[in-house]
């Protein structure tokens, strides 16, 4: 352990699938003076790399399918048992098998008019049990893309039953069978070309039967048979058989997360009128009117209430509508108004339910409690008829209206507060125009910073526990059972990426605590993408793609104007074009914000125009596009190192009219224009005491969670910083060259996370003050760069970073779990000679596709025909013939074994084989440290992300397993290499995998090694 008297600072760079860290020694003055050690931990983010969806969702869907299959088989077995006990089915299995020759549709129809023999009735009822129809659940049906097609098919079937005068659906199906028509619920997709030229896929079913039809048929059939043989068809027999036929487990309710203010309560639905109103008042209390000089004014209480009343009746209001309602000038702007946002959302629930098809104006006569109760029933009730009955009894509407309400689609999801918290906060928000944080405290709740464990108890932990144990208000509900695993006992954060990230933080930090003792300070940067949902990521990817297209367009324009090749276009010129386009929507009216001189494209790309910081960089350290614009060089020199107000508003300067500057600023994006106002700098600071505090404080939700978690071990010195500052300082320190990509960050090397951590570790008030002073000096000297000489944290800082980075063994979290997809989902028919067949939908048609493919073959010896032989035939040796196959496409590991003459041989174990081994012999056999599955002596067992050391070209290299091929090839790469699969497939990339077989691995003196979460290498040495 590090000398406890030697204080150090722990820096963490937490990303969606990585954790970079650095230990920074602090000197006697509590300033950073040396880098003790740095490292990187790489782990999966819990998402499908193809579409970004949670792997937990994929597993849950597959598990649900297996459970449905298992329940079907159990129901069939129960039905056989009860029918046998009641004397309907023969007890001999072969006799029961012989009954399959009876036509169940004929029996279901004839049983309405004649007495069936016991075995005939059993055959008919068993058939009903196998195809017992769809039971509607209004909660889940709305999420089903095919629910509309189902309802149409059900409605059509009911109409056909009425028109045909058939007494039961079984009788109707028998008529179709006699007519040679289909009896199955075939799903079809038909592409339709509409008049506008667009193609739409029409979904339909040939027919669809629901559970109520099956129940009605059972009752009708039973009455018919009971009238003819009452001694056999008793009420007790009816009860038992109907229970087996119709019983269905109720859906396990999905419990919402915890209320952030009252963690013992559940969060309220977003559709709840109370939730909608709290959001409306919160937003209106934050709404500001931009008056003269772009200064902001809050709404008056009367204006706020007038607008809130209007929004409570509408789904949304545009800012133009708001201006008219409040009788404001048409040129008035709002702080929330922007080209990307032209409206404020209203009460979507009230707007929908007050339509004439539903409650109409009667909705607004209900009190708030009844409105909430109505919506709660609409969201939670599963049984449609029960919901309809409740609505009729409690609201006075007729059945037709209740039926329409049962199908209504309300906003999905949950808010962050429970119903009790909403009831307390809403009156506080209504009472005056105050921000949400003040309303929370006015309602009697403590500030969020007073809700964490350290603040409440003063206890400092010696190591990080499972986060759910102490961050109760941020996780879902757990069981509370001490015998359950931690995640189940205490609950977890639903986002898989955040969950994994916090757990890996715990693993790494606890390893460092054990080795180096507790830190004096912890500084964390949390990646923006860590908290993003799949939808957020897709939106971010779309935005990035749009930016790339925009940049390429601008690159081409600049190249044409300057008459140069596209590759010679400077990044600064592209940025100039971006900022120029933000000056005004009208290209002819794009002028210098300060002097008003018109700026053409050609003039823009000359030295007359330059990029400048609206609020001085030395006072904000904000180098984002929101703090930049383009201006005439002369005007920029006059402005100097001041804000627009300080330069042109406080003291008028000839040739510069501050009111005209504000008028030109109003055309810019909202994140930029307020900076021109007299209070622009104060509004940029928000609640921070100064620009250094702002630069050192990240207030995002996930950042607060990370801070609260790490405060458990370091309560006084933990802070989370924004990522923009890290990127800026890394470039200015010249650290992008540490991993060598000509001044650009090398994202193909995992160690860049540790470089960031080394920057994070020195990002403190003293460092930023030096940076600010250097920037001010450069501005005073009228230099074309942010700083002339970037001050370093200490003279040998760069050398320390290089040394620490070169000493890193990147730690990859290996997944040694055999539990994963055994094979792909597609089932293939077996044609023989390695040929398979399957069907797929092509252009709305089901097409047969044949191909050569090695598959895992499945056979079922328990399924036999009437003569007792295997249903699918037998092979030449008499064993049951395989009837389908699946593409394995997944390997669990490769076992390196010693064979005759001491040679090494590789035996690839598929995930399917691993499952079968555990099922037959237990997990201990799968993981036997000395014996392979084939019975050969085991040298080593390698899995994806395991570390291996071997000698290549007389050099010892430490690599990780990236891929295992079915033919026994092991593909490896150096530990620090990132994005390897994509780079290996790119023919223009110099990178390529190192491929070894068991034999060549033996020749290279290969051995499996381990790297701890804290980056410690353990090499047992080569053992021949």
Task: Look at residue 548 and give its three-state secondary structure.
Answer: helix
Ligand-binding annotation for 529, yes or no, is yes
Q: Which residue of the set 127, 613, 976, 1002 is catalytic?
A: 613
Stretch (H or E) spanning 302: helix 301-311
Q: Which two tokens stand for residue 322?
A: 């708001």
Ligand-binding annotation for 565, yes or no, is no
Q: Are 1014 and 811 in contact (CB under 8 A)?
A: yes
HEC secondary structure over 83-114: HHHCCCCCCCHHHHHHHHHCCHHHHHHHCCCC
864, HSE (Cβ side, Cα atoms, 13 Å): 13
Comparing CA positions, the residue from 284, 212, 287 lying closest to residue 246 is 212
Across the beta sheet with 18-26, the strand order is 718-720, 521-526, 8-14, 18-26, 32-42, 811-812
Task: Look at residue 122 and give its three-state secondary structure.
Answer: helix
Active site residue 3: no
Interatomic CA distance for residues 666 and 732, integer angstroms: 33
Interatomic CA distance for residues 1012 and 754, integer angstroms: 16
Stretch (H or E) spanning 948: strand 947-952
Task: Look at residue 177 and give its three-state secondary structure.
Answer: helix
Instruction: List C-alpha distances in Å: 61 to 57, 68, 127, 349.
Output: 6, 11, 27, 30
Residue tagged 């709002």 (tokens)? 334
Active site residue 613: yes
Residue 989: φ, ψ to 5°: -85, 140
Q: Are 447 and 437 in contact (CB under 8 A)?
A: yes
Instruction: List C-alpha distances in Å: 106 to 113, 114, 175, 176, 631.
Output: 11, 12, 9, 11, 87
Comparing CA positions, the residue from 346, 292, 294, 290 lying closest to residue 318 is 346
Instruction: List C-alpha distances in Å: 98 to 229, 590, 866.
Output: 24, 88, 6
Interatomic CA distance for residues 623 and 630, integer angstroms: 14
Residue 165: φ, ψ to 5°: 60, 20
Q: Which two tokens stand for residue 279?
A: 């959001």
Gap between the terminal Cα atoms of the chain: 35
Ligand-binding annotation for 907, yes or no, is no
Ligand-binding annotation for 474, yes or no, is no
| Sequence-distant (≥ 6) Cβ neighbours of residue 693 within 8 angstroms | none
Residues marked active site are found at 13, 613
Annotated binding site for Mg(2+): 13, 525, 529, 753
Annotated binding site: 13, 525, 529, 753
């Amino acid at each position: 352990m590090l000398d406890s008297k030697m204080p150090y600072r722990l820096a963490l760079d937490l990303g969606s699938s990585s954790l970079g860290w650095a230990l920074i020694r602090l000197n006697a003055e509590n300033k950073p003076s040396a880098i003790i050690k740095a490292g990187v931990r790489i782990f999966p983010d819990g998402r499908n790399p193809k579409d970004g969806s949670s792997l937990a969702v994929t597993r849950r869907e597959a598990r649900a399918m297996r459970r449905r299959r298992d329940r079907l088989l159990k129901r069939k077995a129960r039905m056989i048992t009860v029918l046998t006990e009641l004397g309907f089915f023969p007890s001999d299995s072969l006799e029961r098998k012989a009954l399959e020759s009876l036509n169940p549709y004929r029996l279901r129809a004839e049983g309405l008019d004649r007495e069936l023999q016991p075995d005939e009735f059993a055959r008919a009822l068993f058939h009903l049990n196998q195809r017992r129809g769809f039971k509607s659940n209004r909660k889940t049906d709305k999420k089903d893309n095919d629910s509309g097609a189902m309802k149409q098919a059900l409605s059509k079937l009911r109409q056909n039953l009425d028109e045909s005068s058939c007494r039961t659906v079984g009788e109707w199906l028998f008529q179709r069978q006699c007519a040679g028509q289909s009896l199955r619920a075939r799903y079809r997709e038909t592409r339709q070309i509409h008049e506008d030229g667009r193609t739409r896929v029409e979904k339909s079913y040939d027919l669809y039967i629901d559970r109520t039809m099956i129940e009605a048929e059972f009752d009708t059939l039973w009455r018919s048979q009971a009238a003819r043989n009452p001694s056999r068809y008793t009420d007790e027999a009816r009860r038992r058989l109907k229970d087996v036929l119709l019983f269905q487990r109720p859906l396990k309710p999905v419990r919402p997360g915890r209320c952030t203010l009252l963690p013992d309560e559940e969060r309220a639905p977003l559709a709840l009128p109370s939730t909608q109103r709290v959001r409306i008042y919160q937003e209106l209390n934050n709404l500001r009117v931009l008056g003269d000089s772009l200064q902001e004014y809050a709404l008056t209480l009367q204006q706020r209430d007038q607008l809130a009343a209007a929004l409570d009746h509408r789904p949304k209001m545009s800012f133009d509508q708001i201006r008219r309602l409040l009788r404001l000038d048409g040129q008035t702007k709002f702080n929330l108004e922007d080209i990307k946002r032209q409206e404020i959302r209203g009460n979507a629930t009230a707007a929908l339910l007050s339509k004439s098809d539903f409650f109409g104006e009667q909705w607004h006569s209900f009190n708030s409690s009844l409105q909430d109760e109505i919506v709660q029933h609409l969201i939670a009730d599963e049984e449609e008829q029960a919901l309809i009955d409740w609505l009729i009894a409690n609201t006075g509407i007729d059945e037709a209206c209740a039926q329409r309400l049962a199908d209504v689609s309300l906003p999905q999801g949950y808010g962050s507060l429970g119903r009790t918290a909403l009831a307390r906060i809403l009156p506080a928000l209504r009472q005056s125009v105050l921000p949400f944080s003040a309303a929370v405290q006015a309602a009697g709740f403590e500030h969020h910073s007073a809700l964490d464990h350290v603040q409440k108890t003063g206890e400092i932990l010696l190591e990080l526990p499972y986060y759910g144990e102490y961050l109760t208000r941020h996780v879902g509900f757990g069981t509370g059972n001490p015998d359950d695993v931690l995640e189940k006992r205490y609950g977890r954060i639903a986002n898989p990426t955040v969950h994994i990230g916090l757990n890996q933080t715990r693993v790494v930090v606890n390893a460092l605590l054990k080795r180096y003792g507790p830190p004096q300070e912890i500084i964390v940067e949390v990646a923006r993408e860590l908290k993003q949902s799949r939808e957020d990521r897709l939106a971010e990817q779309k935005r990035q793609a749009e930016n790339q297209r925009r940049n390429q367009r601008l690159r081409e324009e600049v190249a044409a104007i300057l008459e140069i090749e596209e590759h010679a276009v400077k990044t600064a010129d592209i940025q100039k074009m971006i900022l120029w386009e933000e000056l005004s929507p009208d290209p002819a009216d794009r002028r210098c914000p300060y002097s008003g001189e018109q700026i053409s494209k050609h003039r823009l790309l000359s030295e007359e125009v330059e990029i400048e910081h609206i609020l001085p960089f030395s006072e904000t350290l904000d180098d984002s596009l929101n703090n930049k614009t383009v201006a005439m060089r002369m005007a920029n020199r006059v402005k100097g190192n001041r804000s627009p107000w300080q330069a042109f508003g406080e003291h008028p300067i000839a040739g510069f009219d501050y009111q005209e500057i504000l008028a030109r600023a109003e055309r810019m994006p909202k994140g930029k224009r307020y900076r021109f106002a007299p209070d622009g700098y104060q509004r940029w600071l928000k609640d921070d005491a100064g620009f250094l505090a702002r630069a050192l404080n990240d207030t995002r939700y996930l950042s607060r969670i990370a801070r609260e978690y790490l405060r458990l071990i370091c309560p006084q010195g933990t802070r989370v910083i924004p990522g923009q500052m890290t990127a800026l300082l890394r470039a200015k320190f010249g650290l992008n060259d540490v991993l060598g990509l000509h001044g650009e960050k090398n994202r193909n090397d995992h160690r860049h996370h540790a470089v960031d951590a080394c920057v994070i570790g020195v990002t403190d008030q003293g460092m930023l003050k030096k940076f600010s002073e250097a920037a001010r000096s450069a501005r005073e000297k009228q230099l074309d760069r942010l700083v002339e000489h970037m001050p370093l944290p200490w003279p040998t800082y760069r050398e320390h970073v290089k040394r620490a980075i070169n000493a890193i063994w990147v730690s990859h979290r290996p997944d040694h779990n055999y539990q994963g997809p055994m094979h792909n989902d597609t089932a293939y028919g077996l044609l023989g000679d390695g040929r398979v067949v399957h069907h797929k939908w092509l252009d709305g048609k089901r097409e047969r596709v044949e191909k050569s493919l090695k598959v895992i073959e499945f056979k079922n010896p328990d399924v036999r025909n009437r003569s007792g032989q295997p249903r699918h035939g037998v092979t030449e040796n008499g064993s049951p013939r395989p009837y389908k196959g699946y593409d394995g496409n997944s390997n669990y590991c490769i076992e390196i074994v010693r064979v005759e003459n001491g040679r090494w041989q590789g035996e690839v174990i598929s995930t399917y084989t691993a499952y079968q081994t555990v099922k037959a012999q237990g997990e201990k056999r799968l993981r036997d440290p000395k014996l392979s599955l084939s019975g050969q002596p085991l040298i080593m067992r390698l899995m994806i992300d395991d570390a291996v050391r071997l000698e290549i070209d007389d050099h010892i290299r430490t690599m990780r397993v990236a891929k295992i091929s079915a033919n026994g090839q092991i593909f490896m790469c150096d530990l620090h290499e990132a994005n390897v699969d994509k780079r290996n497939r790119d023919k223009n990339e110099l990178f390529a995998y190192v491929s070894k077989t068991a034999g060549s691995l033996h020749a290279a003196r290969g051995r499996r090694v381990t790297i701890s979460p804290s980056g410690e290498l353990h090499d047992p040495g080569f053992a021949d």
